[in-house]
Amino acid sequence: MNSRRDFLQKLGVSAVALQLGTVHVWANDKNASHQPYDGKVLRVAIMGLGGYGTRVAGAMQYCTKAKLVGAISGTPKKLTDWQDSFNIPAKNCYNYQTYHEIKNNPDIDAVYITTPNGLHHDMALAVAKAGKHVICEKPMALNAKQGQAMVDACNAAGVKLLVGYRMHFEPHTLEIIRMRKAGEFGKILFFQGLCGFEIGDPTQWRLNKELAGGGSLMDIGIYAINGSRYMTGEEPIWVTAQETKTDPVKFKEGVDETIQFQFGFPSGATASCLSTYSQNNLDKFYLNGQKGWAEMQPSTGYGPIKGRTFKGELDQPVTTHQTVQMDAFADILFNGAQPPVPVDGNEAVKDLKIIDAIYLAVKTGKKVDLNLS
């Protein structure tokens, strides 16, 4: 069996973690204090041991307030590998038929669901029923109806529901948000979000309507959707959208290749965004105001994030996003911390309402009104 180091390197996690390092900050305070932590540690089991689950697991090795203690998978070999590589006790490992038994395991506080989108809803409901906090990757569900059911189930069970909005803790992002709140850009006029790459294997789950819920919009388009909201500081009130499909064999019915979508905001600001599975080199946010502008490129990748404004280059700390996120989640769950941008289920339902509206706008060719209150 591989050693932990070999396992991490094989999956590309330790190299990423070592390259990016960790800076446990939520904003741009380069002089933040890093006193030894002696508070309660969030004990997490990861459900779904694929590429992203493995990235989170690797990043959590550097957390101070959160610890990986469990694993849930439908693949027995992955469970045994993780036991060895991440020092996970066998008693904290479950498969998809037995994970409801975590209700009897006092060593697990929360389950982080990193499975395909189409599985999130049922798994979240089961985890909540087991009395564990739910952490779910984005998009949280296939549609707003499912998302609201997840919120309701967690509320009924008395557990918290958090969503993996890692950019909500990224220092360059938070510096632009700080500048916008301080009025340094003046009245916000326009946002642009470009998210895309050329997707490979046509048999992967991201191109499966049942598992993904769509195509590029459900995968990377969520970044532009959510980014338009935290960058402008407003909620959109209408959406228009258009779909382009050049390869109907690879991108079957219900799986979008490219969608362009536009938002209008109460202040009169607008947004123009694109998500695509057929173009590389698209990871850019641009915010324009009456007094100045901000640009991020890369804007949402795993790092390092780069940004500049009309005042010059941003020099905020580089972080390992998932490490900072998981430590922040511990503060939210145990200490009642309030993040600069919400990361709860209600925040995710708003994004899902927008996704529903975008698909409706594509289908009808009409402007769709939004009410996210």
CB crowding 133-172: b at 16 or more within 10 Å, else e: bbbbbbbbbbbbebbbbbbebbeebebbbbbbbbbbbbbb
> What pLDDT score was predicted for residue 303?
84
Q: Which residues of the chain have pLDDT under 70?
A: 1-34
Task: Write the pLDDT tens digit of every residue in 84-123.
Answer: 999 999 999 999 999 999 999 999 999 999 999 999 999 9
Residue count of the chain, please give it.
373
- Whole-angstrom distance, CA of residue 176 vs CA of residue 185: 9
223 is catalytic: yes
Q: What is the DSSP letter of 207?
A: G
> What pLDDT score was predicted for residue 35?
72
99 is catalytic: no
CA atoms within a 13 Å half-sphere pointing along the CA-CB vector of 69 = 17
- What is the fold, at CATH topology level, of the domain defined by 172-315+345-369? Dihydrodipicolinate Reductase; domain 2 (3.30.360)
Copy the structure tokens of residue 341. Answer: 């941008």
- Whole-angstrom distance, CA of residue 69 vs CA of residue 64: 14
Q: What are the beta bridge partners of residue 272? A: 192, 262
CA quadruple 24, 27, 31, 35: dihedral, nearest 10 = -30
DSSP helix/strand/coil, 367: coil
Copy the structure tokens of residue 236. Answer: 């959109």
Find the largest Cα–Cα distance for the chain.
Answer: 59
Alpha helices in 182-286 (DSSP H): 209-212, 216, 222-232
> What pLDDT score was predicted for residue 5?
38
DSSP helix/strand/coil, 136: strand
Active site residue: 138, 160, 284, 353, which one?
138
The answer to whether the beta carbons of residues 99 and 122 sit under 8 Å apart is no
The answer to whether the beta carbons of residues 110 and 43 sit under 8 Å apart is yes
Domain limits of the chain? 4-166, 172-315+345-369
- Whole-angstrom distance, CA of residue 228 vs CA of residue 235: 8
> What pLDDT score was predicted for residue 19?
31
The answer to whether the beta carbons of residues 337 and 328 sit under 8 Å apart is yes
Active site residue: 223, 230, 277, 359, which one?
223
The CATH superfamily label for domain 4-166 reads NAD(P)-binding Rossmann-like Domain (3.40.50.720)
> What pLDDT score was predicted for residue 34?
59
Closest C-alpha among 159, 260, 257, 271 to residue 212: 257
